[in-house]
């Protein structure tokens, strides 16, 4: 069981006095003992759970006498001063206990927090029955496992508001074998609807990475206008290391509506003079059997490569014959 203690905040709001409405000066405001002298505890039992299992959040607040106007919230939801609640987190999560009071126009609060760590299995399947699938996807990709596979099946995942998801070593984000793109299946879809400047949705920074079998849809269905609409679907940019990249594969994907690049490949020479991608291993980044279409600005390309890349059986859209 772990308890993480509190922070304190004091805010001043307007109060009505003779002659009009004004704010009380911060320097003359004394913290309320109902907040500063309160005893707060929040804990989780157990503090670490396997994915799909439950834990219980316990909290308690003891107030000085005469403090009946203090309110408590757990993750923004009003709760009693003492209680417990079972929960099944979809990924590692922080739970916040907040107490607050407004007295004579002065708002004051304190918070305490506790974290529940979720341990993912090496292979996670996200399908229509998965609760909070986006949270599961992001949590699994960042798991502490030495190898991690995330399979998608019959899902449309909205990652609007999320960008630059880092994919490290030994990670696979793929469609389940029976759900992948094919002659009779569109495959799972990951999409966004917001513009994000020139940021990529996924940034592959590790080695031994596989993305395969699903659709990746950007936010720009027309021709992007201006330098602020140059988003990318996937960026390959290795971490700094003296070791060469051995294998990054992007295959059987439909990549569309990204106004900057569908895929961008760059190198990192901070610790290796020749970089981590070089022409003696042109298959280190293997882009094959993909369908690129409607990735358009006046200067857009389907794939921008600043390092050695093997490009094979990749179909561009009809507006541009080159990639």
- Alpha-carbon distance of 150 to 142, in angstroms, equals 11
Q: Grade residue 24 by pLDDT with cuts at 50, 70 and 90.
A: very low
Strand partners, 74: 77, 97
With a cut of 70, say whether residue 194 has pLDDT above it.
yes
The CATH class that applies to domain 2-118 reads: mainly beta
* Residue burial 71-103, b: 16+ Cβ < 10 Å; e: rest: bbebeeeebebeeeeebebbbbbebebbbbbee
How many whole angstroms separate alpha carbon 83 and alpha carbon 231?
Answer: 46
Examine the pLDDT at 65 and tell me if it is beyond 60: yes
Mean pLDDT over the full length of the chain: 85
Q: Domain segments of the chain: what residues? A: 2-118, 120-312
| pLDDT, average across residues 38-43 | 97
Report the C-alpha gap between 24 and 30 in whole angstroms: 11
What percentage of the chain reaches a pLDDT higher than 90?
68
Taking the alpha carbons at both ends of the chain, their separation in whole angstroms is 55
What digits encode the pLDDT tens for the residues 82-115?
999 999 999 999 999 999 999 778 899 999 999 9
Segment 11-33 mean pLDDT:
48
Work out the average pLDDT over 170-188: 95
- Tell the residue number behind the tokens 């600005």, with chain if given: 297
Distance CA 92, CA 119 (A): 8
């Amino acid at each position: 069981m772990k308890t993480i203690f509190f922070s304190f905040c004091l805010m001043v709001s307007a109060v009505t006095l003779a002659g009009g409405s004004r704010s009380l000066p911060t320097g003359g405001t004394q913290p309320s003992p109902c907040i500063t002298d309160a005893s707060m505890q929040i804990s989780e039992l157990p503090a670490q759970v396997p994915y799909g299992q439950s834990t219980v959040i316990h909290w308690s607040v003891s107030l000085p006498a005469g403090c009946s106007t203090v309110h408590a919230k757990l993750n923004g939801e009003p709760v009693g001063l003492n209680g417990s609640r079972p929960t099944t987190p979809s990924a590692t999560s922080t739970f916040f206990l907040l107490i607050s009071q407004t007295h004579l126009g002065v708002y004051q609060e304190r918070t305490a927090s506790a974290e529940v760590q979720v341990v993912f299995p090496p292979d996670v399947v996200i399908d229509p029955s998965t609760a909070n699938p986006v949270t599961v996807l992001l949590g699994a990709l960042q798991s502490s496992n030495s190898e991690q596979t995330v399979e998608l099946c019959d899902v449309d995942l909205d990652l609007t508001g999320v960008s630059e998801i880092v994919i490290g070593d030994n990670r696979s984000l793929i469609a389940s074998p029976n759900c992948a793109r094919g002659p009779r299946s569109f495959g799972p879809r990951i999409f966004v609807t917001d513009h994000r400047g020139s940021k990529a949705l996924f940034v592959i920074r590790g080695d031994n990475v596989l993305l395969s079998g699903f659709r990746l849809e950007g936010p720009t269905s027309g021709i992007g206008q201006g330098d602020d609409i140059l988003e990318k679907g996937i960026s390959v940019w290795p971490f700094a290391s003296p070791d060469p990249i051995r294998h990054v594969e992007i295959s059987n994907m439909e990549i569309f509506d990204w106004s900057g690049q569908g895929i961008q490949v760059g190198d990192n020479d901070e610790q290796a003079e020749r970089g981590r991608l070089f022409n003696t291993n042109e298959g280190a980044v293997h882009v094959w059997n993909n369908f690129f279409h409607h990735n358009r600005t006046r200067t857009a390309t389907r794939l921008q490569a600043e390092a050695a890349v093997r490009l094979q059986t990749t179909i561009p859209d009809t507006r541009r014959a080159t990639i």
